[in-house]
Structures are given as C-alpha cells and as structure tokens.
Structure 1
Amino acid sequence: MTEPANAVDLLLSLPRARRRQTLTDLVAAEVREVLLLPEDAEMGADVSFFDLGMTSLRLTELRQRLTRMLDRRIEIEALFEHPTSQGLTDHLAGTVLCDVFPGTAPASTPAPQNAQELPPMVQEILRNLYS
C-alpha cells in the first residue's frame, strides 16, 4: 500500500469511525510541536492555547503547519476563535474538512471562559495582515 500524500488522504483512507480521533491526534501533535513540548506531554483538549503558553507568533506557525499538513486554507481567525485543541479540531472537521467529515455541522463551540479575548482592533489588524 502506498503512503498517503497528505493528512487529508490519510483521513480519507481510514474508516469514518477512526477519522475524528486521528484528526484530534494530528492537531494535538502539531500544537505540541509548535510549543516545543515532548510527544508524551499531556494537554487537555479544552485548555486554551494561550494558557499553554502560545503566543500570536506561535499561533501563526501552527496555522502554517496545519495548512501544509492538510493542504487547505485555514483562516488565522479560526485559531483565535477556537483556541483549544478540541475547538480547533471541531472547526476543521465542520468547515475546512467537510468533505472528509460529511454531515458534520460547523462547530459553534464557545471559547473557554479563561481564553483571552482579542480587542476588535487587534482582530482587524490580524485579518488584514493574514489576508
């Protein structure tokens, strides 16, 4: 069997029942990599990236890594609006990867209460910077 060309091909090659967990694992691995955490580091799926020490620069790196891994465009706002591994996985499955996860409604998971809210001006600057 040949190796999948990218993570989407990998996900599509799996039975539907295993796709979600695999995507969750891929996102968590990328978060660990960006934060320079060891592979076995425990991260709560609902812990804010910012509580883990993520900065906006590292968040940009995470976006770039996920974009390359999935070969799909990921808006930077998505990472600020879904600042947890679980929230980001839900967003990716519901919007970016809807062809891989058919029937998945777009995620509307609220950000954790301890997540830092960005002022509207900062959001606008980031939107303009990464458009």
Structure 2
Amino acid sequence: MSRQRRNQGQNTISRHFTHQIRVRWGEVDAQGVVFNANYLIYADVAGTEYYRHLGILADAIEDLSQTYVVDAHLQFKSPARYDDLLTCTVIPTRVGNSSFQLVIKIARDDTELTQITLTYVRAINGQSTRLSDAFRALIS
C-alpha cells in the first residue's frame, strides 16, 4: 500500500509505503520482547521492499549499491513480542544531492512501537557522489 503527498519545501517528500513482518521466536530476548538490534533488521527489510516497490532494484540499483547508512536513530516507545504482526511504514523525508533520509515507523495495530531514522549517502571510493537523476526521480 502506498500513499503519496508532496509537501511544501524543495526537497521534502512524503510517500508512505507499508510492509508487514511477523516476529519470530529467534528475534525475542530473555524478557520475551524483540531484541533491540532486530528493529534495524526490520527497517532494512521494509526499506528493501520499498525500493522493490519503486522499481529501484531494477532501474537504479547502481545508486543503491553505492549508498551507505551514515546515521541511524532509534526511538523505542513500546515493545514488540513473539508472533506480533508488525506494520513497517517507510517514509522518505529528504532527498539531497548525494544523500537521502528514510523514517521507518514500526507499529502493532494502532500502537507505534519504534521510529527509526536512517540517513544514507552515496559514496564511491570514500567520496560522496551525486545520486543519479533516475534514482532521485524514483524516490521523489
């Protein structure tokens, strides 16, 4: 499911994409809640499905294969538990010349559990490099 809305502001975008993930037994810790590092895995899976949905995996894979997470922020609000069905909502919030940012909100039913903000930079040989026009068009 996706919904698109352009905000005011040159490089600010709001396009929502959702992907569901069910919590597996191996993802919970001794307290019976999802171990914190697994939220980044959920964000990565949701992001990959978002790229697939947009056609980036087919049409702009070179850009994607040269992007790196340079900053990650996780805000934990409520725990997920074994067998919960989680909805991961991916929202691109900024596309710059060589970087972009995704916010991934993870919820169970109507309860937001975690919000993850990931900043990516395209780099070749350690130098930031402009995102292609094709990639920028797909994201925005």
Q: Could you tell me the TM-score, scaled by structure 1's length?
A: 0.33
More strand by share: 2
Q: Give the TM-score normalised by structure 2.
A: 0.31
